[in-house]
Structure 1
Amino acid sequence: MSLRSRLLAMLSLSLIVLWLTVAVLMYLHLGNKVSETLDQRLAASANMVAGLIAQQPEPFSRSSTEALLMSPLSGGVACQIRSATGEILMQTAGPRGTSLSGAEPGFTTRTVSGEEWRLYTLEQDGLLITTADRGTERRQLENGIILVMVVPFSLALLGSLVVLWWGVRRGLEPLQKLNRELQLREPSNLKALSIGNAAAELKPIVSTLNSLFARVERTVIREQRFASNTAHEFRTPLTGIKTHLQVARRIDGEQQQLALARAATGVLRLQNVAEQLLMLARLERRDDWREFEPCAVSIAIREALVDMPGGERVKQNLETEDVFVNAPHPLVVIAVRNLLENALKFSSHDQPVELRVFCGVSNHQELVKLIIRDGGHSPSPSEHGDGQQNSRASEQGHGLGLTIVESIAEQFNGRLHAEENARGGMDWELALPRVH
C-alpha cells in the first residue's frame, strides 16, 4: 500500500468513526428531546382545554345523557373530558375518543385497535381532561426531524472525505514530483535535485539525497582516478621489466646483471603496487578496523621514517607532543609514509621535505593536522583544489599511494587537502580527529 493510500485510509477511518459516534449521540439525544417536546405539546393541549373550560364552565356544569362530540382536523389526535364520577362530558368522535376512559392523571401509553397512543390526563376542578396522539404519527414526526438533521450531516461527512482526499493528494504532490524526478534521471546524472519550493518536511530528504549524490560523484571521480593511477602503476614497471629482460638476453657480463637487477627492481615495484591494492581492499571491507586503539602521531611518524630512502631529508616540526588521533596505528603509518614518499619523489635531492604537526578546530571538531611540504614543480592553475589534488602525482606514477591516504582519511572522518606553496611545490594536509 502506498503512503498516500495508507494516509487516506487512516484519516478517513478516523473521520468516519468520529462523525458516526457524534451522529449516534445526537440521534439518541434528539430522539429523547423530540419525545419530550411532543409530551409537552400534549400537556399544553390539555391545559389549553382546561383554560377554555374555566372561561365557559356552563356546558360542563350540568349532567348529560350523551357526550358532546368533537371532530378534530387530524385523525391522529384525540381528546376526552369527563367528570370525577367517570361521566364523559365531551370527547372526539369515533372509537379513539371512547377508548380514553379510565386514564390516570399524567402520561400513559395505551394500545387502541392495534395502534399505540400516547395519553396525558389533567385533573382540574373536578374534571379529567385527557389528550392523546397516535404513536405512528409521533414516530413519523421524530423521523422527519431526524432526517432533516441526518441529510446535511451525511453531506458534510461526504464533503469532508472529498476535501480530505484532495488535501492529501495535493499535500503529497511534492513526493510525487520527487519520484518522477528520480525515475526520469539517468544513472550518470549526479547533479543536485531541485523540486522547487519543497515542503519543510521534504527538505531534509532532498538535502540528504543531494549529499548522497555528491558523495557518489566524488567516489566515481576517485574510482576513475584510481583506475587511471593503477593502470599507470602497473604499466610503467611492466614495461621496464620487459625492456630490461630483452636487453639481458642480448648482452653478457656486468651489463646483463645490471639489466636483471633493474628488472628485479621493477618486480619489487609491482609487489608494492599489489600490496597497496590489498590495503585498499581491506579499507573497503572496514570490518577489519572496527575495533582499534587511538594512534600516537609521533610514534606513527617515527615508524613511517624507518628504512625510507631519503628519510634524512625530512625536517620535522612537531608543535605538540603526545597527541592521539582516532584512527588505527598501522593505517596512520601507511598514510604518513605514502605522503612522505610522494613529497620526496617530487622534491629535488638538495631540497628538504618539511613535516609539521599541530592541532586545530574545524566545524566544531578538534583535529590533528599533518602538513607535508615538498619543493617540486608546482601544478598548473587548473590542477589546484581537492578535485585535482592527485593529478600531478598521477602523471608521475605515484597516485595510488595518495588514493590510499584519501581513503583512510575519509573512512575515519578526516580529509586530505592539497595546495600550492610558495616554494613551487605542494602542501599536503592530512587532518584526522583528535582524541584525548
Structure 2
Amino acid sequence: MSLRVRLLLIIGLGLSVLWTAVAGWMFLDARKSLREALDNRLAASARMVAGMVAQLPEPANLSANDSKKPFDVIARDGVACEVSLLRSQITAQAIVRTEGGPDLTQATAGFGTHIYGKKRWRTYMLRQGNIQIATADSMDTREALIKELALSAGVPFLVALFGSLIMLWFCITHGIAPLERVRNILAKRKPGDDSPLAPIKAPLELQPLLDTIEQLLERLQGAILRERRFTDNAAHELRTPLTGIKTHIQVAGLAADLPDNNKTLKAALNKADYGVLQLQGILDRLLSLARLDDDAVPVESSDPLEVVDTAADQLQVSYPDLKDRVLIKSDDAIAWVHVSRPLLLSATQNLIDNALRYTPEDKPIVVQITQPDTGRVRISVLDQGPGLSAHDRAHAANRFWRRDRSVPGTGLGLSIVDAIARRHHGTFKLLKRAGPGLEARLEFPI
C-alpha cells in the first residue's frame, strides 16, 4: 500500500467518522427541534381555537342543538381540530370537528400519541370550562418531514465528504512531493557516485530524513571503498603464494623428466606445499573475519589467565623455545571476561605470535594480565621489536597491512584482534613503549 493511499485512508476515515458523528448529532438535535416546533404548533392552534370559542354564545345555548353530528370545518396546515362540550367528567360531545379528522373526544389532557383509524396521531387537548379543544396532526406527516430533513441535509453532507476526500488526495499528493523528488534523485544516481545529494526543497520535518540518507550514503561509499581496498589487497596477497605454487610445480615437472633429480623434485614439492599452507592460512583468516562480521556473538565468559596459558602452549609447536621467550605476569584474582573462549584464544595467539615475529630471539616478550578497575580486564603484550610510528600504529589494524613484507605473515592478525574487541565492546590499541618495542593492549569488560 502506497503512502498516499495509506494517508488518505487514515485521514479520510478519521474525518468521515468525525463528520458522521457531528452530522448525526445535528440531525438528532434538528429532529428534536422539529418535533417541539410541531408540538408548539398544536398547542398554539388549540389556544387560538379556545380564544375564538370564548367569543361564541354560552355553552348552554350551544347545547340546545339536538344534532348528534358535529359541524365540519376546513383544516389548515394539516392540523385536525375538534371542539367538544363536556357532559360530565368523563363524557364529551363533539360540536365542531375538522372534516375527515379523528374522534378526539377521548384524548388525554396535554400532549399524547394515539391511534385512530389505524393511523398514529400526535394530539394536544386543552380544557376551558366545559369546553374541550383538541388538536392533532398525523405522525406519518411528521415522519415524512423528518425524512425530508434528513435527505436535504444528508445529500450535501455526502457531496461535501466525497469532495473533501478528493481535495485531501490532491493535498496529500502535494504534501509528499518532496519524498517523490528524493526518490527520483536517488533513482537517477549512478553506481559509484559518491557526490553529496543535491539540495532539495523540503519541509523541516523531512530534513532529518534527508540528513540520515546523506549519512547512509557516506557510510555506504566508505564501505564500498573499504571493500575495494580489501579486494585489491586480497588479490595481491593471494597472487603471491599462487604464483610461488605454480612456479614450484613447474620446476617439479621439469625435474621429474630428468634422471637423478629427486632432490630438486623434493625441494620444489616442499616449497609448493609451503605455498599451499600459506594460502590456506590467508583463507582461514579471511573466513574468521567474515564470521566476525556476520555471526552473532555468543554469550560466554572466559578466564583470561587460562586462555593466555593455552595460547602460549599451542604456539610452542611453531616456537620450540617459546617458554624461554614468553613471560606471563598476572595480578591476583583476575575476573572473567564476557568473551567467547575460542575468540579470546584467537586474539591472544595473534598478539603473541605477532610479538614473537618482530622480537629478536634472544629477547623475551611479556604478557601482562591486569585489572585496572572493577569493570575491565587488560591483556598487554610487550615486545622488544623495532616498534611502529604513530602513522603505522593508526593503520596496523587494517586488513593486509604489513610494514615489513620480508617477515612472514598475512597482514590479517591484528585485523582479527580488532574485530574481536569491537564485537565484544572491548578496545584494542597499539602503544609506544618507553623503551624499545611496542605494547599491544587488549581490554574487555567484565
- Distance in 1, matches of 2:365 and 2:434, equals 14
Checking the alignment, whether the CA contact within 8 Å between 1:45 and 1:131 is kept in structure 2 is yes
- 2:386 is equivalent to residue 399 of structure 1: no
Secondary structure at the aligned position of 2:316 is classed as coil
Distance 2:437 2:197 in 1: 38
TM-score between the two structures when normalised by the length of structure 1: 0.68
* CA apart distance, 1:78: 3.4
**What is the Cα deviation at residue 308 of structure 1?**
4.3
Look up the match of 2:312.
Answer: 302
Shift of the alpha carbon at 1:81?
A: 2.1
Secondary structure of the residue aligned to 1:58 is coil
1:400-419 superposed matches below 5 A: 400-414=412-426, 416-418=428-430
Task: Spell out, residue by residue over 1:267-308, the C-alpha distance to the aligned partner (whole angstroms, 9 max, x if none).
Answer: 335314414523543664577995866243432443255244
2:284 corresponds to which of 278, 283, 294: 278
Partner residue, 1:267:
273
Q: CA deviation at 1:227?
A: 1.1
- Residue 230 (str. 1) matches residue 237 (str. 2): yes
Does the Cα contact within 8 Å between 1:304 and 1:334 map onto a contact in 2?
no
Given candidates 336, 341, 365, the residue that maps to 2:353 is 341
Structure 1 counterpart of 2:386, which letter?
G
How far apart in 1 are the matches of 2:211 and 2:303?
35
3-state SS of 1:104 partner: coil
Question: CA contact under 8 A between 1:376 and 1:424: conserved in structure 2?
Answer: yes
CA distance in 1 between counterparts of 2:436 and 2:170 reads 66
Give the conservation status (yes or no) of the 8 Å contact 2:359–2:385.
Answer: yes
**DSSP 3-state at the match of 1:271:** helix
Question: Do residues 375 (structure 1) and 374 (structure 2) align?
Answer: no
Query: Matches of residues 8-407 of structure 1 in structure 2 within 5 Å?
Result: 8-9=8-9, 12-13=12-13, 16-17=16-17, 19-20=19-20, 23=23, 27=27, 30-32=30-32, 34-54=34-54, 56-58=55-57, 62-63=61-62, 74-85=76-87, 89-91=95-97, 95-96=99-100, 99-100=102-103, 102-106=105-109, 107-109=112-114, 118-135=122-139, 137-147=141-151, 149-150=153-154, 153-154=157-158, 157-158=161-162, 161=165, 183-184=187-188, 186=190, 188=192, 197=204, 213=220, 216-217=223-224, 220=227, 223-224=230-231, 227-228=234-235, 230-231=237-238, 234-235=241-242, 237-238=244-245, 241=248, 264=270, 267-268=273-274, 270-278=276-284, 280-281=286-287, 284=290, 294-297=302-305, 298-303=308-313, 305-309=315-319, 311=322, 312-314=324-326, 316=328, 318=330, 322-347=334-359, 353=365, 355-359=367-371, 366=376, 368-373=378-383, 375-376=385-386, 378=388, 381=391, 384-385=394-395, 388=398, 391-393=401-403, 395-396=405-406, 398-407=410-419
Q: Aligned-pair RMSD on alpha carbons?
A: 5.4
Indicate the SS of the match to 1:303. Answer: helix
Report deviation, 1:356.
4.2
Does the C-alpha gap of structure 1 residues 146 and 81 become closer, same or farther in structure 2, counting only changes over 3 Å?
Answer: same
Superposition TM-score, scaled by structure 2 size: 0.67
Structure 2 CA distance for aligned equivalents of residues 23 and 212 of structure 1: 54
SS in 1 for 2:107: coil
| Distance of 2:296 and 2:103 partners within structure 1 | 101
How many residue pairs are counted as aligned between the two chains? 425
Aligned pair in 2 of structure 1 residues 141, 24: CA closer, same or farther (>3 Å)?
same
Q: Show structure 1 runs of 5+ residues with no match.
A: none
SS state at 1:105 partner:
coil
For 1:377 and 1:252, the matched residues in 2 are separated by: 50
- Name the aligned partner's letter for residue 354 of structure 2: N
Q: Per-residue deviation at 1:4?
A: 5.0
CA contact (8 A) 2:335 2:377 kept: no
- Conserved in 2, the CA contact under 8 Å of 1:379 and 1:392? no
Residue 76 of structure 1 aligns to which amino acid in structure 2? G
Q: Secondary structure at the match of 1:392?
A: coil
Query: SS of 1:375's equivalent?
Result: coil
Rate the CA distance shift 1:205–1:41 in 2: closer, same or farther, 3 A. farther
1:341 maps to a residue whose letter is D
Deviation at 1:235, TM superposition (A): 4.9
Residues 182 and 359 from structure 1, CA distance in 2 versus in 1: closer, same or farther, beyond 3 angstroms?
Answer: farther
Q: How many Å separate the matches in 1 of 2:206 and 2:334? A: 49
8 A contact 1:293–1:327 mirrored in 2: yes
Distance in 2 of aligned mates of 1:90 and 1:399: 120
